[in-house]
Structure 1
Amino acid sequence: MKTIHKIFTVAILLFISGGTIVGCSSTKNNYTAATDVQEEFKMEKSGAQMWGEACNRCHLAPSPADYNDTDWSTISLHMRVRANLAENEIAKIETFLKSAN
């Protein structure tokens, strides 16, 4: 009966510890793997979403049809500086605006 009790106790300890009884290095590896999975499935915002969020922070966002491609290029350069947007963000916004006009 004591043997069954010991086996049961060990099984519970293994279950609680995640199936392994090792040092901190295992925890680091599991954390890194979890972070990699999160990065892999991270959803990126579309140009339309960024346009709605960034442009409406300070003013009413104009319709994509309000300007032509050349105007949007100039406006994008200006607003990148004014709105403190990253190059990849303004590129997505500009692509959306040009495709929608």
Structure 2
Amino acid sequence: MKAIHKIIITGLMLFIAGGFIIGCSSTKHKYTSATTVGEEFNIEKSGAQLWGEACNRCHLAPSPADYNDTDWSTISLHMRVRANLTEHDINKIEEFLKSAN
């Protein structure tokens, strides 16, 4: 009885794992950056949009007026690492924050 259960469980695990492997490998969309909405449209998000999306993921986004340009440079460097943002995205966010300051 135990051998039958092991065979059934092993078969189910292989079936489920096979589905995940096939599902992952057959994905056609490749999003390399948070700046593109869709591969076929290649629409760039503004620094303000990226700021709203990236900063509000983990905490309330501070007002651009809360810090000066030097502070925003330091904060941007730190948050790029913490939020796993691309250099392109953080540059757009920092540009927005400094322009609104």
TM-score, normalised to structure 2's length? 0.60
Aligned partners of 2:73, 2:100: CA distance in 1, in Å?
Answer: 14
Q: Which residue of 2 is the match for residue 83 of structure 1?
A: 83
Deviations 1:38-77 (Å, cap 9, x if unpaired)? 8685210000000000000000000000000000000000
Q: Which residue of 2 is the match for residue 44 of structure 1?
A: 44
- Unpaired stretches in structure 2, ≥5 consecutive residues: 1-37
TM-score, normalised to structure 1's length? 0.60
Aligned partners of 1:40, 1:96: CA distance in 2, in Å?
Answer: 26
User: Does residue 74 of structure 2 align to residue 74 of structure 1?
Assistant: yes
Q: Give the length in aligned residue pairs.
A: 64
Which runs of at least 4 in structure 1 moved beyond 4 Å after TM superposition?
38-41
- C-alpha RMSD over aligned residues: 1.5
Q: Counterpart of 2:94 in structure 1: which amino acid? A: E
Radius of gyration: which is bigger?
1
Aligned partners of 1:57, 1:47: CA distance in 2, in Å?
Answer: 15
Q: Counterpart of 1:62 in structure 2: which amino acid? A: P
